[in-house]
Structure 1
Amino acid sequence: MEAWATARESPYVTALGATERQAPDVETLAARLTEMRRTAVPAHAQQKDAGDQTRVARLHGQAATANGIASMYRSVADGARTKRQLRERIAQQHPELHLAEVRGRAEVQQVQQAQAARIEQQTRRYEPPAPSRSGPSRGR
Protein backbone atom coordinates (compact mmCIF):
# COMPACT_ATOMS: atom_id res chain seq x y z
CA MET A 1 0.00 0.00 0.00
CA GLU A 2 2.90 2.42 0.76
CA ALA A 3 4.41 1.76 -2.64
CA TRP A 4 1.13 2.66 -4.31
CA ALA A 5 0.92 5.90 -2.28
CA THR A 6 4.49 6.80 -3.30
CA ALA A 7 3.74 6.08 -6.96
CA ARG A 8 0.52 8.16 -6.84
CA GLU A 9 2.42 11.17 -5.41
CA SER A 10 5.17 10.94 -8.02
CA PRO A 11 5.32 13.60 -10.75
CA TYR A 12 5.65 10.69 -13.19
CA VAL A 13 2.29 9.14 -12.23
CA THR A 14 0.81 9.63 -15.70
CA ALA A 15 3.86 8.15 -17.42
CA LEU A 16 3.48 5.10 -15.22
CA GLY A 17 -0.17 4.79 -16.19
CA ALA A 18 -1.31 4.95 -12.59
CA THR A 19 -4.48 6.78 -11.72
CA GLU A 20 -6.07 7.33 -8.37
CA ARG A 21 -8.55 4.48 -8.86
CA GLN A 22 -6.54 1.99 -10.79
CA ALA A 23 -3.04 0.65 -10.37
CA PRO A 24 -1.32 -1.22 -13.18
CA ASP A 25 -0.28 -4.74 -12.42
CA VAL A 26 3.21 -5.24 -11.02
CA GLU A 27 4.74 -6.51 -14.28
CA THR A 28 3.38 -3.55 -16.27
CA LEU A 29 4.54 -1.10 -13.62
CA ALA A 30 8.00 -2.71 -13.53
CA ALA A 31 8.26 -2.57 -17.33
CA ARG A 32 7.25 1.09 -17.41
CA LEU A 33 9.74 1.98 -14.66
CA THR A 34 12.49 0.17 -16.54
CA GLU A 35 11.58 2.01 -19.73
CA MET A 36 11.59 5.34 -17.88
CA ARG A 37 15.01 4.54 -16.44
CA ARG A 38 16.33 3.85 -19.92
CA THR A 39 14.83 6.81 -21.76
CA ALA A 40 13.17 9.48 -19.64
CA VAL A 41 15.73 9.72 -16.85
CA PRO A 42 18.77 10.11 -19.14
CA ALA A 43 16.89 12.64 -21.27
CA HIS A 44 15.91 14.61 -18.16
CA ALA A 45 19.49 14.45 -16.84
CA GLN A 46 20.82 15.64 -20.20
CA GLN A 47 18.34 18.51 -20.21
CA LYS A 48 19.41 19.55 -16.70
CA ASP A 49 23.09 19.29 -17.69
CA ALA A 50 22.53 21.46 -20.76
CA GLY A 51 20.75 24.08 -18.63
CA ASP A 52 23.57 23.98 -16.08
CA GLN A 53 26.18 24.38 -18.82
CA THR A 54 24.31 27.38 -20.20
CA ARG A 55 24.14 29.00 -16.77
CA VAL A 56 27.82 28.29 -16.10
CA ALA A 57 28.80 29.78 -19.47
CA ARG A 58 26.72 32.91 -18.79
CA LEU A 59 28.19 33.31 -15.31
CA HIS A 60 31.70 32.72 -16.65
CA GLY A 61 31.12 35.48 -19.20
CA GLN A 62 29.85 37.82 -16.50
CA ALA A 63 32.87 37.01 -14.33
CA ALA A 64 35.25 37.68 -17.21
CA THR A 65 33.55 41.03 -17.87
CA ALA A 66 33.71 41.94 -14.18
CA ASN A 67 37.40 40.99 -14.05
CA GLY A 68 38.10 43.20 -17.06
CA ILE A 69 36.29 46.14 -15.49
CA ALA A 70 38.06 45.59 -12.16
CA SER A 71 41.40 45.49 -13.96
CA MET A 72 40.62 48.78 -15.70
CA TYR A 73 39.68 50.43 -12.40
CA ARG A 74 42.86 49.10 -10.75
CA SER A 75 44.86 50.61 -13.60
CA VAL A 76 43.07 53.95 -13.21
CA ALA A 77 43.71 53.90 -9.45
CA ASP A 78 47.39 53.09 -10.00
CA GLY A 79 47.67 55.98 -12.43
CA ALA A 80 46.00 58.34 -9.95
CA ARG A 81 48.36 57.21 -7.17
CA THR A 82 51.39 57.73 -9.39
CA LYS A 83 50.16 61.16 -10.43
CA ARG A 84 49.56 62.15 -6.80
CA GLN A 85 53.05 60.99 -5.80
CA LEU A 86 54.64 62.95 -8.64
CA ARG A 87 52.73 66.09 -7.64
CA GLU A 88 53.83 65.71 -4.04
CA ARG A 89 57.43 65.33 -5.16
CA ILE A 90 57.20 68.38 -7.42
CA ALA A 91 55.56 70.36 -4.56
CA GLN A 92 58.48 69.48 -2.26
CA GLN A 93 61.34 69.96 -4.73
CA HIS A 94 59.97 72.85 -6.80
CA PRO A 95 57.29 74.76 -4.85
CA GLU A 96 57.11 77.67 -7.33
CA LEU A 97 56.61 75.26 -10.23
CA HIS A 98 53.91 73.47 -8.23
CA LEU A 99 52.08 76.74 -7.55
CA ALA A 100 52.20 77.65 -11.23
CA GLU A 101 50.79 74.23 -12.12
CA VAL A 102 47.97 74.62 -9.56
CA ARG A 103 47.08 78.06 -10.92
CA GLY A 104 47.17 76.75 -14.48
CA ARG A 105 44.83 73.89 -13.55
CA ALA A 106 42.41 76.32 -11.90
CA GLU A 107 42.39 78.52 -15.02
CA VAL A 108 41.76 75.53 -17.29
CA GLN A 109 38.91 74.42 -15.04
CA GLN A 110 37.33 77.88 -15.14
CA VAL A 111 37.56 77.97 -18.95
CA GLN A 112 35.99 74.52 -19.18
CA GLN A 113 33.16 75.51 -16.87
CA ALA A 114 32.52 78.67 -18.88
CA GLN A 115 32.44 76.65 -22.12
CA ALA A 116 30.04 74.13 -20.58
CA ALA A 117 27.74 76.92 -19.42
CA ARG A 118 27.82 78.56 -22.86
CA ILE A 119 27.04 75.25 -24.58
CA GLU A 120 24.19 74.61 -22.17
CA GLN A 121 22.68 78.01 -22.94
CA GLN A 122 22.99 77.42 -26.68
CA THR A 123 21.37 73.99 -26.56
CA ARG A 124 18.32 74.97 -24.54
CA ARG A 125 15.23 74.16 -26.53
CA TYR A 126 13.03 76.85 -27.87
CA GLU A 127 9.70 76.89 -26.11
CA PRO A 128 6.97 78.81 -27.89
CA PRO A 129 4.83 81.08 -25.80
CA ALA A 130 1.83 79.56 -24.12
CA PRO A 131 -1.29 79.60 -26.29
CA SER A 132 -3.64 82.46 -25.65
CA ARG A 133 -7.19 83.05 -26.72
CA SER A 134 -7.16 84.36 -30.17
CA GLY A 135 -9.70 84.59 -32.89
CA PRO A 136 -12.64 86.77 -33.72
CA SER A 137 -14.11 88.70 -30.87
CA ARG A 138 -17.80 88.59 -30.18
CA GLY A 139 -18.15 92.29 -29.77
CA ARG A 140 -18.43 92.39 -26.07
Structure 2
Amino acid sequence: MADIPQVSPYGSARALPSVQEMEQQIAAFKLLGILLPKEQRNQLKELEREHKRITGLVDSFYGLLGRRNWVFTGDLNLPEIEHIVDADDAESAEARLIGYYKEDGRIAFPLRRLHRFDAMRPRIDLLQKALAD
Protein backbone atom coordinates (compact mmCIF):
# COMPACT_ATOMS: atom_id res chain seq x y z
CA MET A 1 0.00 0.00 0.00
CA ALA A 2 3.03 2.27 0.01
CA ASP A 3 3.01 3.84 -3.44
CA ILE A 4 -0.54 4.61 -4.52
CA PRO A 5 -0.51 6.09 -8.05
CA GLN A 6 -2.50 9.29 -8.37
CA VAL A 7 -4.78 9.59 -11.39
CA SER A 8 -6.02 13.13 -11.63
CA PRO A 9 -8.69 14.31 -10.83
CA TYR A 10 -10.13 11.17 -9.26
CA GLY A 11 -7.20 9.75 -7.30
CA SER A 12 -6.51 6.04 -7.38
CA ALA A 13 -8.95 3.17 -6.99
CA ARG A 14 -6.54 1.97 -4.32
CA ALA A 15 -7.47 5.04 -2.25
CA LEU A 16 -11.05 3.82 -1.84
CA PRO A 17 -11.83 2.53 1.65
CA SER A 18 -13.24 -0.78 0.36
CA VAL A 19 -10.12 -1.40 -1.72
CA GLN A 20 -7.84 -0.50 1.18
CA GLU A 21 -9.80 -2.88 3.39
CA MET A 22 -9.34 -5.67 0.85
CA GLU A 23 -5.59 -4.94 0.68
CA GLN A 24 -5.40 -5.15 4.47
CA GLN A 25 -7.21 -8.49 4.41
CA ILE A 26 -4.85 -9.83 1.75
CA ALA A 27 -1.87 -8.65 3.80
CA ALA A 28 -3.26 -10.35 6.92
CA PHE A 29 -3.75 -13.61 5.05
CA LYS A 30 -0.22 -13.36 3.69
CA LEU A 31 1.08 -13.10 7.25
CA LEU A 32 -0.74 -16.33 8.04
CA GLY A 33 0.37 -17.84 4.76
CA ILE A 34 2.72 -20.33 6.32
CA LEU A 35 -0.26 -21.88 8.09
CA LEU A 36 -2.31 -22.17 4.90
CA PRO A 37 -2.19 -25.21 2.63
CA LYS A 38 -0.18 -24.70 -0.56
CA GLU A 39 -3.31 -24.56 -2.72
CA GLN A 40 -4.75 -21.73 -0.62
CA ARG A 41 -1.43 -19.85 -0.71
CA ASN A 42 -1.53 -20.10 -4.51
CA GLN A 43 -5.14 -18.87 -4.53
CA LEU A 44 -4.11 -15.96 -2.34
CA LYS A 45 -1.32 -15.03 -4.77
CA GLU A 46 -3.78 -15.20 -7.66
CA LEU A 47 -6.28 -13.06 -5.73
CA GLU A 48 -3.60 -10.46 -5.10
CA ARG A 49 -2.58 -10.42 -8.79
CA GLU A 50 -6.21 -10.06 -9.88
CA HIS A 51 -6.78 -7.30 -7.32
CA LYS A 52 -3.79 -5.35 -8.65
CA ARG A 53 -4.89 -5.93 -12.25
CA ILE A 54 -8.40 -4.62 -11.59
CA THR A 55 -7.31 -1.56 -9.59
CA GLY A 56 -4.73 -0.79 -12.29
CA LEU A 57 -7.43 -1.12 -14.93
CA VAL A 58 -9.72 1.26 -13.06
CA ASP A 59 -6.88 3.77 -12.69
CA SER A 60 -6.03 3.49 -16.39
CA PHE A 61 -9.70 3.97 -17.29
CA TYR A 62 -9.93 7.18 -15.26
CA GLY A 63 -6.53 8.33 -16.46
CA LEU A 64 -7.83 8.26 -20.02
CA LEU A 65 -11.55 8.88 -19.66
CA GLY A 66 -12.13 10.52 -16.28
CA ARG A 67 -11.75 14.05 -17.58
CA ARG A 68 -14.33 13.18 -20.21
CA ASN A 69 -16.76 12.31 -17.38
CA TRP A 70 -16.97 8.57 -18.06
CA VAL A 71 -17.62 6.39 -15.02
CA PHE A 72 -16.23 2.90 -14.40
CA THR A 73 -18.93 0.59 -13.08
CA GLY A 74 -19.12 -3.02 -12.02
CA ASP A 75 -21.26 -3.73 -15.09
CA LEU A 76 -18.29 -3.32 -17.43
CA ASN A 77 -16.65 -6.34 -19.05
CA LEU A 78 -13.03 -6.29 -17.84
CA PRO A 79 -11.39 -7.86 -20.93
CA GLU A 80 -13.25 -5.35 -23.12
CA ILE A 81 -12.18 -2.47 -20.88
CA GLU A 82 -8.56 -3.66 -21.09
CA HIS A 83 -8.84 -3.24 -24.86
CA ILE A 84 -10.40 0.20 -24.43
CA VAL A 85 -7.70 1.54 -22.09
CA ASP A 86 -5.02 0.10 -24.37
CA ALA A 87 -5.78 2.98 -26.74
CA ASP A 88 -3.10 5.54 -27.51
CA ASP A 89 -5.12 8.53 -26.40
CA ALA A 90 -8.35 9.60 -24.72
CA GLU A 91 -10.16 10.23 -28.00
CA SER A 92 -9.47 6.70 -29.25
CA ALA A 93 -10.37 5.20 -25.87
CA GLU A 94 -13.63 7.13 -25.84
CA ALA A 95 -14.49 5.96 -29.36
CA ARG A 96 -13.82 2.37 -28.27
CA LEU A 97 -15.96 2.79 -25.15
CA ILE A 98 -18.85 4.21 -27.17
CA GLY A 99 -18.49 1.29 -29.57
CA TYR A 100 -18.50 -1.08 -26.61
CA TYR A 101 -21.77 0.37 -25.34
CA LYS A 102 -23.36 0.14 -28.79
CA GLU A 103 -22.57 -3.59 -29.13
CA ASP A 104 -25.03 -6.35 -28.30
CA GLY A 105 -27.58 -4.12 -26.57
CA ARG A 106 -25.19 -3.54 -23.65
CA ILE A 107 -26.78 -0.25 -22.75
CA ALA A 108 -30.40 -1.48 -22.71
CA PHE A 109 -30.32 -2.94 -19.19
CA PRO A 110 -28.63 0.06 -17.52
CA LEU A 111 -31.10 2.37 -19.26
CA ARG A 112 -34.03 0.34 -17.93
CA ARG A 113 -32.64 0.76 -14.40
CA LEU A 114 -32.87 4.54 -14.84
CA HIS A 115 -36.67 4.33 -14.91
CA ARG A 116 -36.66 4.13 -11.12
CA PHE A 117 -35.44 7.75 -10.92
CA ASP A 118 -38.17 10.31 -11.57
CA ALA A 119 -35.67 12.90 -12.81
CA MET A 120 -34.25 10.51 -15.41
CA ARG A 121 -37.52 9.35 -16.98
CA PRO A 122 -37.89 12.37 -19.29
CA ARG A 123 -34.28 11.94 -20.42
CA ILE A 124 -34.38 8.24 -21.30
CA ASP A 125 -35.79 8.90 -24.79
CA LEU A 126 -32.95 11.38 -25.38
CA LEU A 127 -30.38 8.78 -24.32
CA GLN A 128 -31.90 6.13 -26.58
CA LYS A 129 -31.94 8.54 -29.55
CA ALA A 130 -28.31 9.51 -28.91
CA LEU A 131 -27.28 5.86 -28.89
CA ALA A 132 -29.13 5.21 -32.15
CA ASP A 133 -27.00 7.83 -33.95
Into which bin does the TM-score normalised by the smaller protein fall? under 0.3
Tell me which structure has the larger Cα radius of gyration: 1
TM norm structure 2: 0.27
TM norm structure 1: 0.25
Indicate the structure whose relative CO is greater, using CA pairs within 8 Å and at least 6 residues apart: 2
Instruction: Indicate the structure with greater helix content.
Output: 1
